[in-house]
């Protein structure tokens, strides 16, 4: 995977997922729980897209594809995936706490 592909397949979707999670919290704080649910769903969709590409790359490496050394941008992409997953997990909990309190 080229550096540009890493950016487009890992970093961009996970950035969108993280943004969606933060927007879900903001929507919940404003009492817009349907919007919060939509934002969490959008975040999940973006994470699934990134995770699919991440899994494809890992499978290719395990199957002997000559992908060269692991690049810094690939490591950065992996960080984005994990950060976005954590942010979405926490956002779900925060939205639920807000919703339960209203």
CA distance 53 to 41: 19
Largest CA distance in the chain: 54
CA distance 44 to 47: 5
The token pair that represents 25 in the structure block: 């919290």
Kindly name the residue from 9, 51, 53, 76 that is annotated as catalytic. Answer: 76
76 is catalytic: yes
DSSP state of 1: -
Query: Which residue in 23, 27, 7 sits closest to 81, CA to CA?
Result: 7
Active site residues: 76
């Amino acid at each position: 995977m080229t550096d540009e592909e890493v950016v487009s397949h890992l970093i961009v979707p996970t950035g969108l997922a993280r943004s969606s999670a933060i927007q879900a919290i903001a929507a919940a704080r404003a009492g817009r729980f349907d919007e919060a649910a939509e934002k969490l769903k959008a975040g999940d969709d973006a994470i699934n897209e990134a995770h699919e590409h991440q899994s494809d790359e890992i499978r290719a490496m395990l199957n002997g594809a000559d992908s060269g050394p692991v690049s810094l941008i690939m490591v950065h992409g992996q960080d984005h995936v994990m950060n976005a997953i954590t942010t979405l997990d926490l956002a779900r909990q925060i939205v639920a706490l807000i919703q339960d309190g209203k």
